[in-house]
Amino acid sequence: MAGDRRFEGPSDLHLHSVHSDGTESAAQVMAAAHRRGLRTVALTDHDTTSGWAEAAEAATSMGMTFLPGMELSARNEWRSVHLLAYLFDPDDAGLRAEMERIREDRIGRAERIVRSIGRDYPLTWADVVANTGSGATVGRPHIADALVARGIVKTRAEAFDTILHPRTGYYEGHYAPDVERAVSLVVGAGGVPIVAHPTPSGRARMMPLDLIDRLIGTGLAGFEIDHRENTESGKRILREVVERHDLIVTGSSDYHGLGKPNQPGENTTSDDMVARIISLGTGSRPVYH
Ligand code: AMP
Ligand code: ZN
Ligand code: FE
Ligand code: FE
């Protein structure tokens, strides 16, 4: 394997652009990663592959290796589960249909949240549209940006702590496939599924261990353990699971431009793990510089 390697670390495989809820263009995200010294990167916008071409071009022109990726919205009962997917076929019909269904439902959901907020605050759907990239996967961060633009809150973080917090009553979920189905769709498209920030604190919490075992049976490849939102206790449990099943472990920033404090390269994935992802993925290829 080692002889086949044409990429170099450090690697950060979880970055967002304006194609979903990051604040920078795909090329700007790649430039930010490059400035931070990264050599291998992936673009993982929520439920879309629309940034791949621009990101691949920018990354390789700066001498970095690019892995096509996505963060697919999924769920386990009431939990929102984010599934990172790498090197899948972007034209796979089953996966595409599901991505489109999620993106479509996210629009109606965001409109309903905004209508409900609009009863108490001067916020309209037009404000959100003005703060969302054309064709982007819409999410609460865009509503947060509209609230900031209207002067109702100061930052995305404040919006999430207040008006967008589930406890305030404006919150609504969106359609997302059950996580077992999400894993099998990614595998079916030749991709490598890895659970993003699998052990957050608070409401989301970690998936039950028996479900994790079933997901591994379905083809789950690993866990993003080094991520600032994971709890220490959850990381310890997952490291044992990973060890027992010889799974992939990743570390990444989840950079969202100015939308979050996370900086490219604040966590990285080892060369060995990147090599395993590359050798497992059959739906698309890395783009080498
Ligand atoms: P949604 O999928 O529409 O419910 O929105 C979830 C997105 O909001 C995720 O991509 C997070 O990165 C982002 N997010 C969650 N909490 C915060 C926060 N406190 N500040 C900024 N972005 C956040
Ligand atoms: Zn996001
Ligand atoms: Fe996420
Ligand atoms: Fe993310």
For residue 44, give the ligand nearest its CA: 4
Predicted pLDDT at 205: 80
Instruction: Kindly report, residue by residue over 138-183, the tens digit of the pLDDT.
Output: 999 999 999 999 999 999 999 999 999 999 999 999 999 999 999 9
The answer to whether residue 84 scores a pLDDT higher than 80 is yes
Residue nearest to atom 15 of ligand 1 (CA): 160
- The residues lining ligand 1, judged by C-beta closer than 6 Å to any ligand atom, are 21, 139-141, 156-157, 160, 256, 259-260
As a whole number of angstroms, the distance between CA 115 and CA 109 comes to 10
Predicted pLDDT at 5: 66
How many CB atoms sit inside 10 A of residue 136's CB?
22
Q: Is the pLDDT higher at 3 or at 105?
A: 105
Residue nearest to atom 13 of ligand 1 (CA): 141
Edge-first strand order for the sheet with 222-226 is 11-12, 40-43, 65-76, 79-86, 192-195, 222-226, 248-251
As a whole number of angstroms, the distance between CA 192 and CA 281 comes to 6
Q: How far is the centre of ligand 1, averaged over its atoms, from the C-alpha of 160 (Å)? A: 7
pTM: 0.97
Maximum Cα–Cα distance across the chain: 61
As a whole number of angstroms, the distance between CA 197 and CA 215 comes to 16
Instruction: Kindly report, residue by residue over 39-71, the tens digit of the pLDDT.
Output: 999 999 999 999 999 999 999 999 999 999 999
Q: How far is the centre of ligand 3, averaged over its atoms, from the C-alpha of 123 (Å)? A: 25
For residue 12, give the ligand nearest its CA: 4
Q: How far is the centre of ligand 3, averaged over its atoms, from the C-alpha of 35 (Å)? A: 23
Task: Judge whether 148 and 160 are in contact, CB under 8 Å.
Answer: no
Q: Please choose from 160, 197, 229, 254 the residue to mutate so as to test ligand 1's pocket, defined by most ligand atoms within 8 A of CB.
A: 160
The answer to whether residue 194 scores a pLDDT higher than 80 is yes
As a whole number of angstroms, the distance between CA 269 and CA 250 comes to 5
Q: How far is the centre of ligand 2, averaged over its atoms, from the C-alpha of 142 (Å)? A: 10
The answer to whether residue 262 scores a pLDDT higher than 90 is yes
Q: How far is the centre of ligand 1, averaged over its atoms, from the C-alpha of 4 (Å)? A: 37
Task: Judge whether 228 and 266 are in contact, CB under 8 Å.
Answer: yes
The answer to whether residue 117 scores a pLDDT higher than 70 is yes
Q: Name the percent of the chain lying above pLDDT 90.
A: 96
